[in-house]
Structure 1
């Protein structure tokens, strides 16, 4: 994949993830009250509106500057990875997912001091679409790095 095609894929996917994440968060905030929970599939998936001032799973609660710095570094590292060499489709896809998710959560932290979470599986801490995108994107980047067909010297 050419560098421009890879960057285009990453940017478009990142913008889609960012826009959908922000849309869902605004819908949840506008139609639910804080701590309200509505079953989608009773006992399996609920929409539960919470504000998370921490990172994943509520870790580092109250450390907004550190969390914002971490998000900014993640955005920079992924952008650098995409710019250094022509990315594979997996790298561009993973990078776009991370960029969109990290940007969505970073905007929340900057604008309101916390992140709106709403996906509640009842057996896992409550999370949001941006978190899903980040986890899937990082998984794709790791798989790409581990199983790339390029010789290590070229990477």
Structure 2
């Protein structure tokens, strides 16, 4: 069992995101296949089944296997970094990114057309039913973006992975080689 409570938090968040992502994708395939988009909230949100062979915004559609390798690398890096984790904020952010990466990686490995080439199931479209206003996305995508934004905020606020806080002054001293008082 993992002793570090921050690593346990990261794992819990990642597993929760993965579970919600898998369940929503299974439901979407079962309920939205060969069906017109479902309008919600007066047209602010549409539920629509899209099988995406590419990355966000349907970029790199011919490189599904590369995206799979990148997702595997992200998972490995997060698992390696987790050993030094002492920050709740970093645990939450990395848990969101890890869960999202695992969710989309699961599609790439297990969905058609085949292993390492599977298309990711996207479900939610904002403002228009066809992704014209904003690309169609899923729970995993939302988690990756939310985790990424949180990581940037933590970095800007000087929060370190190990729980320490850095300030601009201490960073400047470290960069120019001067010793603190």
TM over 0.5: yes
**Which structure: greater helix fraction?**
1
Structure 2, unmatched stretches of 5+, are 112-117, 160-164, 175-181
In the alignment of these two chains, the number of paired residues is 150
1:146, CA displacement in angstroms? 2.2
**Correspondence for 1:111:** 110
Q: How does 1:64-79 map to 2 (within 5 A)?
A: 64-79=64-79
Query: Which one scores higher on RCO, CA 8 angstroms, separation ≥ 6?
Result: 1
C-alpha spacing 1:71/1:116, structure 2 compared with 1 (3 Å): same
Distance in 2, matches of 1:109 and 1:88, equals 31
C-alpha spacing 1:29/1:144, structure 2 compared with 1 (3 Å): same
Deviations 1:66-104 (A, max 9, x none): 000110111122222222x23311100001001111000
Question: Does residue 15 of structure 1 match 2:15?
Answer: yes
Distance in 1, matches of 2:58 and 2:11, equals 28
- Structure whose alpha-carbon radius of gyration is higher: 2
3-state DSSP of counterpart to 1:62:
coil
Q: How does 1:142-153 map to 2 (within 5 A)?
A: 142-147=152-157, 148=159, 149-150=165-166
1:132, CA displacement in angstroms? 0.3
Question: Does residue 136 of structure 1 match 2:146?
Answer: yes
1:15, CA displacement in angstroms? 0.2
- Give the TM-score taking structure 2 as reference length: 0.78
Dislocated runs of 4+, deviation >6 Å: none
- Give the TM-score taking structure 1 as reference length: 0.90
Distance in 1, matches of 2:28 and 2:42, equals 18
